[in-house]
Structure 1
Amino acid sequence: MTTRPANVLASVDLGSNSFRLQICENNNGQLKVIDSFKQMVRFAAGLDEQKILSEESQLRAIECLARFGERLHGFHPEQVRVVATNTFRVAKNIAQFIPKAEAALGFPIDVIAGREEARLIYTGVVHTLPPKGEQMLVIDIGGGSTEFVIGSELKPSHTESLPLGCVTYSMRFFQNKIGNKDFSAAVSAARNEIQRIAKQMKEAGWDLAVGTSGSAKSIRDVLAAEYPQDADITLDGMKKLAERIIDAGSVKKAKFTDLKAERIEVFAGGLAVMMAAFEELGIKKMMVTEAALRDGVFYDLIGRNLNEDMRDQTVAEFQKRYHVSTNQAERVANTAQIFMESLCLARKVPVQEANKWKQLINWAARLHEIGVDIAHTGYHKHSAYILENADMPGFSRKEQTTLAHLVLGHRGDTKKMNDIIGNNDILWYAVLSLRLAALFCRARLPLALPEQTQLRHESGKGFTLKISAEWLKQHPLIDDALNYESSQWQKLTAPLTTQRV
Structure 2
Amino acid sequence: MRDEARASSGLDPARGAPWRRPRGRRWPRFTAERTDRPAYAALDLGTNNCRLLVARPTRDGFRVIDAFSRIIRLGEGVLASGRLSEPAIARALEALAICRDKMRNRNVTRARLIATEACRAAENGPAFLARVTGEVGLELEVIDRATEAELAASGCTPLLDPAAEDAILFDIGGGSSELVRLGRSRWNGGGPPVPEIRGWASLPVGVVTLAERHGGIEIDRALYETMVTEAARHVDAFAAAHGGDLRLEATHLLGTSGTVTTIAGVHLGLPRYERRYVDGCWMTDAEISRVLDRLVVMDYDARVANPCIGSERADLVLAGCAILEAIRRAFPCRRLRVADRGLREGILVQLMRADGVWGSEPVSEGGKQPRFTST
Q: What TM-score bracket applies, with the shorter chain setting the length?
A: 0.7 to 0.9
CA distance in 2, matches of 1:214, 1:47: 20
Residues 256-298 of structure 1: CA distance to partner in whole angstroms, max 9, x if unpaired? 4643443223111111110111012333331112331110010
1:25–1:202 CA distance, 2 compared to 1 (3 A): same
The two structures have a TM-score, normalised by structure 2, of 0.74
2:174 maps to 143
CA distance in 2, matches of 1:245, 1:161: 26
1:265 maps to 315
1:161 maps to 202
The reply on whether 1:41 has 2:72 as its aligned counterpart is yes
Residues 109-128 of structure 1: CA distance to partner in whole angstroms, max 9, x if unpaired? 11111121111111011145
CA distance in 2, matches of 1:98, 1:135: 38
1:260–1:29 CA distance, 2 compared to 1 (3 A): farther
CA distance in 1, matches of 2:301, 2:175: 20
Indicate if the aligned counterparts of 1:137 and 1:208 stay in contact, CA closer than 8 A.
yes
The reply on whether 1:79 has 2:110 as its aligned counterpart is yes
Give the length in aligned residue pairs. 307
Cα drift, residue 37 of structure 1: 0.8
CA distance in 1, matches of 2:111, 2:342: 17
Residues 217-257 of structure 1: CA distance to partner in whole angstroms, max 9, x if unpaired? 1111112329xxxx744555444444444544436358546
CA RMSD of aligned residues (A): 2.8
Indicate if the aligned counterparts of 1:277 and 1:283 stay in contact, CA closer than 8 A.
no
CA distance in 2, matches of 1:15, 1:135: 28
1:180 maps to 221
Partner-residue secondary structure (3-state), 1:148? strand
1:8–1:215 CA distance, 2 compared to 1 (3 A): same
- The 5 A counterparts of 1:224-303 are 224-225=268-269, 232-234=282-284, 236-250=286-300, 252=302, 255-256=305-306, 258-303=308-353
1:255–1:283 CA distance, 2 compared to 1 (3 A): farther
Amino acid at match of 2:100: G
CA distance in 1, matches of 2:49, 2:364: 28
Amino acid at match of 2:233: N
CA distance in 2, matches of 1:291, 1:30: 14
CA distance in 1, matches of 2:301, 2:239: 29
CA distance in 2, matches of 1:194, 1:287: 19
Amino acid at match of 2:355: N
1:113 maps to 144
Amino acid at match of 2:349: Y
Residues 141-186 of structure 1: CA distance to partner in whole angstroms, max 9, x if unpaired? 1111111112222231212111221222222223442112210110
Q: Which has the higher contact order (CA 8 A, sep 6+)?
A: 2
Residues 93-116 of structure 1: CA distance to partner in whole angstroms, max 9, x if unpaired? 101110111334433211111121
The one of 363, 367, 370 aligned to 1:308: 363
Indicate if the aligned counterparts of 2:44 and 2:114 stay in contact, CA closer than 8 A.
yes
Amino acid at match of 2:364: D
Indicate if the aligned counterparts of 1:178 and 1:245 stay in contact, CA closer than 8 A.
no
Indicate if the aligned counterparts of 2:44 and 2:51 stay in contact, CA closer than 8 A.
yes
1:220–1:16 CA distance, 2 compared to 1 (3 A): same
Indicate if the aligned counterparts of 1:11 and 1:81 stay in contact, CA closer than 8 A.
yes
The reply on whether 1:89 has 2:144 as its aligned counterpart is no
1:223 maps to 267
1:182–1:91 CA distance, 2 compared to 1 (3 A): same
Indicate if the aligned counterparts of 1:137 and 1:209 stay in contact, CA closer than 8 A.
yes
Residues 180-203 of structure 1: CA distance to partner in whole angstroms, max 9, x if unpaired? 221011011000111221112312
Partner-residue secondary structure (3-state), 1:265? coil
Amino acid at match of 2:52: L
CA distance in 1, matches of 2:176, 2:233: 14
1:194–1:170 CA distance, 2 compared to 1 (3 A): same
CA distance in 1, matches of 2:162, 2:116: 26
2:244 maps to 203
2:28 maps to none
The one of 258, 270, 273 aligned to 1:214: 258
Indicate if the aligned counterparts of 2:39 and 2:107 stay in contact, CA closer than 8 A.
no
The reply on whether 1:192 has 2:233 as its aligned counterpart is yes
CA distance in 2, matches of 1:167, 1:291: 20
CA distance in 1, matches of 2:224, 2:301: 12
Indicate if the aligned counterparts of 1:144 and 1:168 stay in contact, CA closer than 8 A.
yes
Cα drift, residue 70 of structure 1: 1.5
Amino acid at match of 1:276: A
The one of 114, 122, 146 aligned to 2:153: 122
Residues 125-144 of structure 1: CA distance to partner in whole angstroms, max 9, x if unpaired? 11455736642221111111
1:251–1:285 CA distance, 2 compared to 1 (3 A): farther
**Bigger share in helix:** 1
Residues 347-395 of structure 1: CA distance to partner in whole angstroms, max 9, x if unpaired? xxxxx89xxxxxxxxxxxxxxxxxxxxxxxxxxxxxxxxxxxxxxxxxx
1:34–1:128 CA distance, 2 compared to 1 (3 A): farther
1:52 maps to 83
